[in-house]
Chains A and B, each alone.
Chain A
Amino acid sequence: MLSDLNHLRDGESASIHEIEADPALFHRLKALGFQSGRCVTVLRHGILKGPIQVRIGTTQVILRREDAARIKVQRVA
């Protein structure tokens, strides 16, 4: 089932389907390891609509929810 990264719950993993971002953000995300097919795990959500913390491979990244919304993921059944 397709979803946005910001819709995953704490502890949930998914595989990255597609990144719909402008070139600058796209390349930054790619350099941090966000690439189609890779598995990403949401670790926690910040309080007051704060950023979310995710793990991708051995890298941990924090990103705002609106930026996470640009990452389309395929939930792992």
Chain B
Amino acid sequence: MKKIALVGMPNTGKSTLFNRLTGASARVGNWPGMTVELMTSRVILGDVYTQIIDLPGIYSFHGFSDDEKVVRDFLEKQSVDLICIILNATQIDRQLPLAIQIRNLGIPVLIVLNMADEAKAYGIAIDEVQLSEALSVPVVLMSAKYGSGTGALVASIQRNLKSDHPPVTGDLTRAFAADHQIESETTQALNASVIFPTVLREDRTALLDRWFLHPLLGLPIFLALMLGLFQAIFRLGKPLQDGIAWLLSQGRDLYLDPLLDGFPPLLSGLLLDGLYNGVGTVAAFVPIIILFFLGMTVVEDSGYLSRIAYLMDSLMAKLGLDGRSFVMVLMGFGCNVPALMGTRVMRSRALRRLTMLVIPFSLCSARLQVFLFLTSALFSTDAAPFVLFSLYLLSFLTAIATAFMFKGYFPSTEPFVIELPPYRLPTLRQVVLRGWQEVRHFLHRATKFITAGVLGVWSLTHLPPGTVANSPETWAGHLAEWMMPVLQPIGIDSQLGLALLFGFVAKEIVVGSLAAIYGLEGDALMGLMAEKFDWVEGYSFMLFTLIYIPCLSTIATLKSEGSLRFAMVSVTWSLALAWAACWVFYQGARLLGY
């Protein structure tokens, strides 16, 4: 098997190329430094069996960010057969020096000039044959996004893997040598092969930036776009959600109930009330979550995120953060874990830590499911969207409060210098790939966490055998007795407390376990919730769910990207903040007579 590493600067379409070659669905993002994990894939290119490794984007070998360290370490320690250097063809003038540095490492290389379509639109003419001769390296001009040139690339990779050379590691001292030599080689190669237009046209990007980066209108436009996006997602998602819920309840009434009729009540209860209702209630939210991620993909790939970093930077600077931190919090709306990994592009440890401390308050899609469920159960159709909006607001407020509290401990002087890519529309293929990835991700979680969590909750509330479900004699009852002194003052009853306890593993379990505890699903479950809890208790519960503990995966990431101590600080702080916020809200609301 031949090993091929993809190396290039951020925002050159490396991940898109990886997807194009492997058909896998690595995350692709139009945000510098998007690739957060080493994605690898085994694939047959032509007649060669290869393993392709997608390395994080780097600006130079001199860099000090964690991403840049990863690439240096990889090239120095892992032997590879071929490096594909991916360059953004429109920026060939400034990216070519990195290519020459990589060529000097002593590993066979191939240069991929990506985004040929954009270069053409800019009026940049590149003679790949001349360039290849000037550098003594094979060069392929292509567009990974639209697929043109893929055949030529595969053929060139095949040709370059023909030899029986063993794979080699890179000699990094050679990459650092002789900067001026690299500069003069760059100039020579560019003169021989590239013609730049003398004047750049005022393009679509400049036109859009006039509005999106407008000093006064920029932020309102951002808020309006986000609100519009959420509106669209819920409008489109609601009927789909209702449809799935209906299908699931039909399935139970028509097939499963009669099928399990003769089973012992405890077993059929476990399977139907526990497992089926629990997982089913969570599954009904899948369409909304998919739509949500499709929307995020479009925003991510459009290049708008960097503009948000521009708009928010001066405010974030007052909190000891920068524009990128805000973008990471936005990314956290999808899932906190990749957002935490995304902070690897930050060079300063303090800035990175402070950003990582803030991200867990970002209202992720799993928490969104809990809130969608409870807001529609406890509030009128008109009020529900505003309640949800208030939770997003509180998500930002807790993040801001956290940064404000801790900024003194994490002083940073990291420069804020980032690239602004042109606006781009993702292709349908990219969006669909991503949606499918999310479905797979959910199914993975469903089989692992949600099933186990739901079964656990059901067992606790219905065992030992012979006890009345949800009574104080059950195991859950005993557990509740122990938890009540903490939960009573914030208006959370023992069953909800149990859901919170399991929600620690993954927030999806919260909704699933409510279904399992009460043995109901869909409208019946919502009806019961509305009967049992008033809005103050419901809101206090949602507030606690929003703040208390990020899920287990997030804690694990905090530990692996930070340290055990750092993860403990984060967990302790969020638990304390959650309880304090709920106490103020609950006692305050009761005091006011609600």
Q: Which residues of A contact B (CB under 8 A)?
A: 21, 23-25, 27-33, 43-51, 53, 55-64, 67
Contacts and interface: CB of A to CB of B under 8 A. Distances in A.
Contacts of A25: 415, 417
Contacts of B146: none
Contacts of A62: 306, 309-310, 313, 323, 416-418, 420
A67 B309 CA distance: 16
Contact of A28 (B196, B311, B417): B417
A64 B64 CA distance: 19
A31 to B, nearest CB: 4
A33 B311 CA distance: 23
Contacts of A59: 91, 94, 419
A58 B416 contact: no
Contacts, number: 110
Given A48-B315, A51-B323, 9 more contacts: A24-B62, A28-B60, A33-B91, A33-B93, A48-B314, A51-B314, A60-B421, A62-B309, A64-B416
Contact of B62 (A23, A33, A51, A61): A23
A61 B93 contact: no
Instruction: Across the A-B interface, give the 7 residue pairs with the lowest CB-CB distance, nearest first.
Output: A31-B59, A33-B94, A50-B314, A27-B62, A60-B420, A47-B215, A63-B417
A69 to B, nearest CB: 11
17 contacts: A24-B62, A27-B59, A28-B415, A30-B60, A31-B94, A33-B91, A33-B93, A46-B311, A47-B215, A48-B314, A48-B315, A51-B313, A53-B310, A60-B420, A60-B422, A64-B322, A67-B416
A31 B256 CA distance: 63
A27 B347 CA distance: 13
A61 B213 contact: no
A31 B9 contact: yes
A21 B347 CA distance: 15
Given A25-B415, A46-B314, A48-B315, A58 B91 contact: yes
Given A33-B91, A60-B420, A63-B415, A46 B310 contact: yes
Contacts of B417: 25, 28-29, 32, 61-64, 67
B15 to A, nearest CB: 19
Contacts of B62: 23-24, 27
A62 B215 CA distance: 14
Contacts of B124: 58
B59 A28 contact: yes
B191 to A, nearest CB: 15
B405 interface: no
A29 B415 CA distance: 10
Contacts of A63: 415-418
Interface in B237-286: none
A38 to B, nearest CB: 9
